[in-house]
Amino acid sequence: MRPQESRPSRLASRFSAGGLALVLLALIGGGAFAGCAGNGAQPMASMAATDSPVGMSNGEGMGDSGSIPTPEQISAAWATRPAYVSHSGHDTEEAYAFAVARPDIVEWMPCYCGCAAMDHRSNLECFLKRREVGAAIAFEEHASYCDICVQTALMAKQMFGQGASLAQMRAAVDAEFGASGAPGTPTELPPG
């Protein structure tokens, strides 16, 4: 086992000026890092399991989330994410990272796994508990064991990386997961 180094030290070494730019490009960059792998988005090779999703936020908030969390809120939440997130598979952890950093996108996507019976209003609530603006981010365990939740968020992430609008993302999610007639969450249509 390698000796433990402090979390701030690890983060500082990971997010040097050049390194941060590369991580941000990989996380939200264009199609060069995103792709289709049969049943969903291809995992991004550049995002290690311990990397924070900081930098995916653009500062614009919409809908239920009130606002996108600040980079500090995102880092704090990611550093203390529960074991059901940190020990999940790569796709699941990637989907949680996207939901944490871009609730303004995931909240407009419905979920078709049957979680409306859990009072979920969108795919976002499969990953995060409802929160007030400025409140701490609290994780929801549901998506850690539901492939439909994960694949929905990853589809939105992939399309976001390709420059799709919220309406285009929503139409794709509805077509992919709602075609079976499964009941979806009562998610409002995105603006525009």
Of 112 and 55, more confident: 112
Is pTM beyond 0.85 here? no
Model confidence at 168, pLDDT cuts 50, 70, 90, reads: very high
Of 71 and 49, more confident: 71
pLDDT of residue 138: 95
The residues, any chain, with a CB within 8 Å of residue 178's CB and separated by 6 or more, are 110, 112, 184
Q: What phi and psi, each to the nearest 5 degrees, are found at residue 14? A: -75, -35
Q: How many Cβ atoms sit within 10 Å of the Cβ of residue 184?
A: 22
Query: What is the C-alpha to C-alpha distance for residues 112 and 148, in angstroms, rounded to an integer?
Result: 7
Burial environment of residue 191 by CB neighbours within 10 A (0 to 12, 13 to 18, 19 or more): exposed
Query: What is the C-alpha to C-alpha distance for residues 155 and 11, in angstroms, rounded to an integer?
Result: 28
pLDDT tens, position by position, 21-42: 323 223 333 322 222 222 333 3
**Residue 56 Cα distances to 2, 36, 113, 176, angstroms:** 30, 20, 26, 25
pLDDT of residue 28: 33
Query: What is the C-alpha to C-alpha distance for residues 191 and 188, in angstroms, rounded to an integer?
Result: 9
The residues, any chain, with a CB within 8 Å of residue 192's CB and separated by 6 or more, are 165, 166, 167
Of 189 and 39, more confident: 189
For residues 104 and 62, the answer to whether their CB atoms sit within 8 Å is: yes
For the chain, the domains span 7-177
Longest CA pairwise span in the chain (Å): 52
pLDDT of residue 67: 67
